[in-house]
A = this chain, B = another copy of it.
Amino acid sequence: MNLSNTARYAIRVISYMAYNKKELYTASELVEALQISDKYLKRILTTLSQHHIIRSIQGRHGGFAITGRPEDITIYDIVAAIEVIDKYYGCVLGFEVCSDEHPCALHKKWAPIRDELVQFLNNNTIADVMTTEFNKF
């Protein structure tokens, strides 16, 4: 499937934040813990807060906090915040229009797999990912 690297990093951060149960994390703290490039992670954090998956507190005692409960944050939410989610709905063969009404040659076989894929993103949440194993990354 190939989630983008950026999306994977995003999942890792949120997972880490949820797992360690602190209210507020500074960017530096997360950089330290997750070993992701400073500026890159900060940009990801800003993007995530713009999409209300986390909220940011600016200023001296600022940082980032998860907004919802881990079991309410889906992988889909995070991927949609980072990537253009449309591409997960597109035609395998690259046709502009490809639907049940105007199917490409593989549409009928592909559609169910694509649906499973989207369901996978929707059915799995940070609660499913935030294991010790994952945060050992």
Contact = CB atoms under 8 A, between A and B. Distances in A.
- Category for how many chain A residues contact B: 20 to 34
A106 B128 contact: yes
Nearest to A87: B2
Kindly report how many copies of this chain are found in the complex they form together: 2
Interface of A is mostly: helix
A95 B129 CA distance: 13
A5 interface: yes
Contacts of A128: 105-106
Interface of A: 1-3, 5, 8, 11-12, 75, 87, 90, 92-95, 104-106, 109-110, 113-114, 116-117, 120, 123-124, 128-131, 133-134, 137
